[in-house]
């Protein structure tokens, strides 16, 4: 079991403490579906395993909320008030469908419909810290298209990240959201290869802020996917568990709203993040504009404690979304079933285009909570359907 001592700075709660955390879990409980290796744009499909997940724990202060841009374009802050237009030059409203460059293109050779298909991203090793680089390397990602994929129809897309335990199972260990909604695009993302950060841990590189190699991997991969598949740029989501939840929170910060000055993925705009037992964004990371958010965290998770992690992410998002009342603002039960509404609260003072939901379970520890996460993530994304 990996352990790490860290100090906790509780943002808007004004609490500072210390905790010892580490993350581990059992695999998800969802039944298997057909995951084919298919073809590849640059290489054959990678291998994977179904070993149990463990996750890197740690904590940090909440990130700043400056420099907001809207998902509609670069500049402007209309989205934070539920605004429909973002940026200048007649940007497409956030409530509309925004086709990507990949719309109308023939799918890459080897892509199999209704199955994960492997592709490669060449990562140069750059980070947000110009003085810090890592070794260039190749990372695999896996694209899942609906069985009736239409290259002229912009699809909702979710980038999926899993918990620690195996660096090479982006096609098997991620949440199987396609079981709930088979009419979206899903991209399973591998961890860094062995020998790269985080040293000695089979996790995403989620513990060092600006020096993480994940910024380049996500920015390059998402840009490539957007350019080759028909994606609705107003409905791009990230979702993950444990270490994958940490990077999902990171990407919901950095990639919120398009920004032509951004080092990685300037044309990417993450609309929403949904996570189970994740952690906050390091304070040195530049965040973009508003982002919808759903957190699920167990009060009995002693390996990634709720107080120093998900609850520390909450005030940052409430602030950047300009939600009234902050963490103590008014809430209402959320979810179409009692399995959700018994645990989930929606902050009612937030813009309708950027909902914020927090679900607190108990007695489930550091598990991935597939039975709750899958329907919750899809219901959350459905709140942001085109109007």
CA distance to 20, 56, 59, 113, 210, per residue, from 3 (Å): 7, 8, 12, 41, 22
Q: What is the mean pLDDT of residues 332-355?
A: 97
CA distance to 9, 93, 160, 213, 365, per residue, from 128 (Å): 23, 29, 22, 8, 33
Q: What percentage of the chain reaches a pLDDT higher than 70? A: 76
The tokens for 294 are 């759903």
What confidence tier does 335 reach under pLDDT thresholds 50, 70, 90?
very high
Mind listing the pLDDT tens digit for each residue in 196-219?
A: 988 888 999 998 899 999 999 999
Residue 87: the pLDDT is 35
DSSP 326-370: GGGS-EEE--SSHHHHTTEEEETTS-TTS-EEEEEE-S-TT---H
Percent helix / strand / coil, the chain, rounded to 5:
20, 20, 60
Residue 199: the pLDDT is 80
Q: What is the mean pLDDT of residues 25-44?
A: 32
Distance of CA 21 to the CA centre of its chain: 22
Q: Rounded to whole angstroms, how far apart are CA atoms 141 and 370?
A: 22
User: Is the predicted pLDDT of residue 250 greater than 60, yes or no?
Assistant: yes
Q: Rounded to whole angstroms, how far apart are CA atoms 139 and 156?
A: 23
Lowest mean pLDDT among 67-71, 115-119, 179-183, 377-381: 67-71
Q: What is the mean pLDDT of residues 281-293?
A: 95
**Beta strands 116-123 and 137-144: pairing type?**
antiparallel
Q: What is the mean pLDDT of residues 71-94?
A: 41
Three-state SS at 42: coil
Residue 381: the pLDDT is 98
Please report where in the chains the tokens 């179409």 appear, as a residue.
336
Residue 18: the pLDDT is 30
Residue 217: the pLDDT is 98
Q: What is the mean pLDDT of residues 88-104?
A: 81
Q: Rounded to whole angstroms, how far apart are CA atoms 188 and 298?
A: 24
Residue 91: the pLDDT is 58
Residue 70: the pLDDT is 34
Q: What is the mean pLDDT of residues 365-380?
A: 98
DSSP 104-140: TSPPPTT--BTSEEEEEEEE----SSTT-----EEEE
Q: Which CATH superfamily is domain 4-85+97-382 in?
A: Alpha/Beta hydrolase fold, catalytic domain (3.40.50.1820)
Boundaries of every domain in the chain: 4-85+97-382
Q: What is the mean pLDDT of residues 38-66?
A: 33
Residues with Cβ within 8 Å of residue 125, at least 6 apart in sequence = 133, 134, 135, 136, 137, 213, 216
User: Is the predicted pLDDT of residue 34 greater than 70, yes or no?
Assistant: no
Residues with Cβ within 8 Å of residue 354, at least 6 apart in sequence = 79, 80, 82, 272, 290, 291, 292, 321
What confidence tier does 61 reach under pLDDT thresholds 50, 70, 90?
very low
Q: What percentage of the chain reaches a pLDDT higher than 90? A: 70
Q: What is the mean pLDDT of residues 156-170?
A: 96
User: Is the predicted pLDDT of residue 246 greater than 50, yes or no?
Assistant: yes
Q: What is the mean pLDDT of residues 13-37?
A: 31
Higher pLDDT, 308 or 262: 262
User: Is the predicted pLDDT of residue 84 greater than 80, yes or no?
Assistant: no
Higher pLDDT, 335 or 208: 335
Please report where in the chains the tokens 């550091």 appear, as a residue.
366
Distance of CA 360 to the CA centre of its chain: 19
Residue 52: the pLDDT is 35
Please report where in the chains the tokens 């088979």 appear, as a residue.
182
Q: What is the mean pLDDT of residues 327-356?
A: 97
Beta-carbon count within 10 A of 264 CB: 19
Q: What is the mean pLDDT of residues 280-309?
A: 94
Q: What is the CA radius of gyration of the chain?
A: 19
Q: Nearest Cα to 204, choosing from 234, 172, 177, 170? A: 170
Q: Rounded to whole angstroms, how far apart are CA atoms 380 and 78?
A: 22
The mean predicted confidence, pLDDT, of the chain is: 81
CA distance to 119, 319, 334, per residue, from 331 (Å): 42, 16, 9
User: Is the predicted pLDDT of residue 337 greater than 60, yes or no?
Assistant: yes
pTM of the full predicted structure? Answer: 0.80
Higher pLDDT, 310 or 203: 203
Cβ-in-10-Å burial (0-12, 13-18, 19+) of 166 comes to buried
CA atoms within 13 A on the CB side of 211: 10
């Amino acid at each position: 079991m990996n352990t790490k001592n860290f100090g906790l700075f509780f943002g808007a709660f004004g609490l500072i403490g210390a905790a010892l955390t580490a993350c581990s879990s059992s695999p998800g409980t969802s039944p298997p579906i057909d995951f084919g290796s298919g073809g590849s744009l640059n290489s054959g499909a990678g291998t994977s395993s179904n070993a149990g997940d463990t996750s890197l724990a740690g904590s940090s202060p909440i990130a700043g909320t400056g420099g907001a841009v809207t998902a509609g374009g670069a500049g402007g802050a209309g989205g934070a008030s539920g605004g429909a237009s973002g940026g200048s030059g007649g940007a497409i409203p956030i409530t509309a469908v925004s086709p990507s460059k990949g719309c109308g293109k023939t799918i890459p050779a080897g892509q199999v419909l209704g199955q994960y298909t492997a592709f490669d991203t060449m990562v140069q090793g750059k980070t947000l810290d110009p003085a810090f680089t890592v070794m260039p390397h190749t990372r695999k990602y896996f694209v899942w298209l609906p069985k009736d994929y239409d290259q002229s129809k912009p699809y909702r897309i979710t980038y999926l990240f899993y918990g620690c335990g195996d660096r090479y199972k982006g096609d098997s260990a991620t949440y199987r959201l396609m079981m709930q909604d088979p009419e979206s695009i899903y991209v399973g993302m591998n961890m860094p290869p062995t020998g790269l950060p985080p040293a000695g841990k089979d996790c995403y590189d989620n513990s060092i802020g600006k020096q993480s190699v994940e910024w380049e991997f996500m920015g390059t991969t998402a840009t490539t996917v957007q350019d080759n598949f028909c994606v609705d740029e107003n409905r791009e989501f990230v979702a993950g568990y444990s270490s994958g939840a940490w990077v999902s929170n990171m990407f919901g910060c950095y990639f919120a709203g398009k920004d032509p000055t951004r080092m990685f993925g300037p044309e990417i705009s993450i609309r929403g993040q949904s996570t189970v037992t994740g952690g906050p964004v390091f304070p040195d990371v530049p965040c973009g504009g508003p982002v919808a958010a759903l957190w699920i965290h167990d009060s009995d998770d002693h390996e990634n404690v709720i107080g120093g992690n998900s609850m520390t992410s909450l005030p940052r998002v409430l602030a950047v979304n300009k939600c009234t009342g902050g963490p103590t603002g008014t809430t209402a039960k959320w979810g179409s079933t009692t399995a959700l509404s018994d645990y989930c609260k929606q902050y009612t003072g937030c813009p309708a285009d950027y909902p914020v939901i927090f679900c607190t379970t108990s007695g489930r520890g550091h598990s991935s909570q597939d039975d709750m996460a899958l329907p919750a993530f899809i219901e959350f994304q459905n709140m942001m359907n085109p109007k």
